[in-house]
Amino acid sequence: MPLKAYGVLITRAVDTRREGAVDTPHYQIHLTDDQDVHYRAAVNVLSQERPSELLYLVDEDFRHPVTGRLAGLGSGWNSLPPGPGGPNLDFVRGNLFDPAKMRTLPPDGPGADDDLADILDHYVRRAVADPDARLYVFGERFGPEPRVKDKVFGFLPGNGIHDIHMNQGNSRKFRGDDGVWQDGGILIHFPGQNRWVAIFLAFQSQSWHTDDVTGHALEDVEGNRPEPNTLPVRIVAALVNPRGPAPEAETVTLFNASPDPVDLTGWRIGDRLGQKSPVPGGPLAPATCLVVPLGANGARLGNHGGEITLLDAKGLKAHGVSYTKEQAAREGWSVVF
């Protein structure tokens, strides 16, 4: 079953603490909201399963429609109902980043910038030093525990958030935590710089092809992340905001980067809400583009930002992109990815 209390915690960072030689070390963050309620974010830096080193990705200039969906949420804890309608994170369906760009680091090391805790410290310490910076921490809430002090920072009541990582495609040992649209992560907003920094974590044991309902790893499917620059067919452009009145003639452009033709029979293009449009069947020759019209009853490309996913004939994700409201603002111009 999915996480019991998924949501996003919107707070200031006031302190950090690294955990050393323990079985399951965490990078601990002390947080406070605008009502001076205290929280602790427990961020995994080591997996209980082998390979134990975590996958991580940092985007120092994160641009994605999810930041716009966070507007209007209050300081403190915000529960998020399941599904794609809100600002929920999903590493598979949300097209937040390219999984092929994730890297591994040990939890702790003797030098500077040589371990995952160092990476986290680099960005969180910037937020601690900036009184206007805000952390948007996604995961599962724990507490409040009125009679129990926090075990790391000592505030009362004990209160916080964990599971700040991918929460689907787990091995059988942790299969009970699987779900869709409930992945964890850290977004840091620096208003003075008009910039977002995103930090995403995953376990090497997790699958990147998961069931759309349960979030479980799909059976008999290779679930490893793709190697960099190995996807044969990818989305390279989208006409999101065509000229003229509705219904608009939206299109998505595909490109075959491989040296061989790819049969696109049965392939589809989907949006964040799961609406799909068919891709014209037949082979796509090497180094060739195909402009796919979405039609009135298929996938929709909203002008306030969105996600576009390419699915193969088996329904597996072949590629995915996202675009922001700002990118969609110019009528008649294609968004290029």
What per-residue confidence (pLDDT) applies to 112?
82
- For 166-192, the pLDDT digits (tens) are 999 999 999 999 999 999 999 999 999
What per-residue confidence (pLDDT) applies to 53?
95
Average pLDDT on 201-207 reads 97
Average pLDDT on 303-308 reads 96
- For 220-277, the pLDDT digits (tens) are 999 999 888 899 999 999 999 999 887 789 999 999 999 999 999 999 999 999 999 9
Q: Are 121 and 16 in contact (CB under 8 A)?
A: yes
What per-residue confidence (pLDDT) applies to 108?
81
C-alpha Rg value of the chain to the nearest Å: 21
Residue 1 has pLDDT above 70, yes or no: no
Residue 295 has pLDDT above 80, yes or no: yes
Cα dihedral 223/225/228/233 (nearest 10): 50
- For 40-64, the pLDDT digits (tens) are 999 999 998 889 999 999 999 999 9
Average pLDDT on 127-155 reads 97
What per-residue confidence (pLDDT) applies to 109?
81
Mean pLDDT score across all residues of the chain: 95
What per-residue confidence (pLDDT) applies to 19?
86
What per-residue confidence (pLDDT) applies to 113?
80
Q: Are 82 and 215 in contact (CB under 8 A)?
A: no
- ∠ CA 72-75-81, nearest 5°, is 65
Residue 77 has pLDDT above 90, yes or no: yes
Could you give the percent of the chain with pLDDT greater than 90?
90
Q: Per-residue b/e over 285-318, b at no fewer than 16 CB within 10 Å?
A: eeeeebebebeeebbbbbeebbbbbbbbeeeebb
Centroid of chain to Cα 315: 20
Residue 20 has pLDDT above 90, yes or no: no
| Residues 6 or more apart in contact with residue 125 via CB below 8 angstroms | 16
- Looking at the DSSP bridge assignments, the partners of residue 55 are 104, 202
- For 217-233, the pLDDT digits (tens) are 999 999 999 888 899 99
Q: Does this model's pTM top 0.85?
A: yes
